[in-house]
């Protein structure tokens, strides 16, 4: 009987730089993340964990990861990370402590693992492809094998985390550059077990977006510092200068997945 409730916070695309003064898209990622960490720690309902769906840093250098680790160490709940296209899996293994988990790949250049909370199963997917396809994602043969072993008909409720969108988003530039190239293979594995799947949560698009296809829920969260726009006719990267830092608070109940979208005031001065 699945009576317990799991709460988790979904964040993404922090893009921390090598110093607290680093700016990107006209904003200061460090100040925004510090404000968000403080806000998460003060939530009236404590999350069971926090998931970061990638692009922890702006560029994969040790100073940026150490600065990010310093901020995330202040959180009062376990945190887990996904490899983004701006990250290197090896660096996340090295620099960013996480909660209890089962590593699913012996390759340090792959960040694939699972963890269990209150009889719910959570699976982190590494879809970072070779640099030449960036910013697209790609599921490697190893990752597809791991997915097949986890997406069986029998098992507890399953929630998946990745960085890249799996489904097209009806946006010219996002669909041209941002998707998992072979994401249909993941979707095809999930449809037969849709009664197990509670959602696929991702980042990369710097915007709150939801897609429902064949009974599978795909949920993106806005960035912690700067948001893109994704109107259908936009052929180049658009920005939403008014949208503040975002996070989602997710409820997993016995028969429902509930997502609360939250914003926090942008810290000043930037």
In a domain, 268, yes or no: no
pLDDT digits (tens, 9 = 90+) for 106-123: 999 999 999 999 999 999
In a domain, 188, yes or no: yes
Work out the mean pLDDT of the chain and round it to a whole number: 96
Instruction: Give the number of domains in the chain.
Output: 1
In a domain, 71, yes or no: yes
In a domain, 126, yes or no: yes
Nearest CA-CA partner of 107 in 143, 80, 136: 143
Instruction: Please give the pLDDT value at position 1.
Output: 43
In a domain, 15, yes or no: yes
State pTM to two decimals.
0.97
pLDDT digits (tens, 9 = 90+) for 41-71: 999 999 999 999 999 999 999 999 999 999 9
Residues of the chain with pLDDT under 50: 1
Instruction: Please give the pLDDT value at position 269.
Output: 66
Cα–Cα distance for residue pair 190/124, rounded to 1 Å: 15
The domain in which residue 235 lies consists of 6-263
Domain harbouring 144, CATH code:
3.60.21.10
H or E segment to which residue 259 belongs: strand 257-263
Instruction: Please give the pLDDT value at position 270.
Output: 61
In a domain, 201, yes or no: yes
In a domain, 1, yes or no: no
Cα–Cα distance for residue pair 96/69, rounded to 1 Å: 6
Instruction: Please give the pLDDT value at position 237.
Output: 87
In a domain, 89, yes or no: yes
């Amino acid at each position: 009987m699945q009576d317990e409730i799991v709460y988790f916070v979904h964040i993404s695309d922090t893009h921390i730089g090598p110093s607290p003064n680093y700016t990107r898209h006209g904003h200061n990622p460090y100040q925004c993340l510090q404000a968000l960490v403080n806000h998460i720690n003060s939530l009236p309902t404590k999350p069971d964990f926090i998931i970061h769906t990638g692009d922890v840093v702006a560029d994969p250098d040790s100073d940026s990861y150490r600065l990010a680790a310093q901020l995330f160490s202040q959180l009062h709940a376990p945190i887990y990370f996904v490899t983004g296209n701006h990250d290197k899996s090896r660096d996340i293994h090295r620099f960013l402590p996480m909660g209890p988990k089962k590593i699913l790949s012996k390759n340090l250049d792959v960040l694939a693992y699972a963890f269990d909370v209150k009889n719910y199963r959570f699976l982190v997917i590494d879809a970072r492809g070779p640099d030449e396809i960036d910013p697209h994602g790609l599921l490697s043969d190893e990752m597809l094998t791991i997915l097949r072993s986890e997406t069986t008909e029998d098992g507890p409720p399953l929630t998946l985390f990745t960085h890249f969108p799996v489904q097209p988003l009806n946006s010219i530039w996002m669909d041209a550059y941002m998707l998992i190239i072979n994401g249909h293979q993941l979707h095809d594995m999930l449809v037969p077990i849709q009664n197990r799947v509670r959602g696929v949560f991702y980042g990369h698009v710097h915007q709150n977006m939801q897609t429902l296809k064949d009974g599978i829920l795909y949920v993106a969260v806005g960035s912690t510092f700067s948001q893109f726009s994704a109107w259908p006719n936009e052929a180049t990267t658009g920005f939403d200068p008014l949208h503040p830092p975002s996070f989602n608070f997710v409820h997993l109940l016995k028969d429902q997945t509930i997502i609360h979208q939250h914003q926090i005031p942008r810290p000043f001065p930037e």
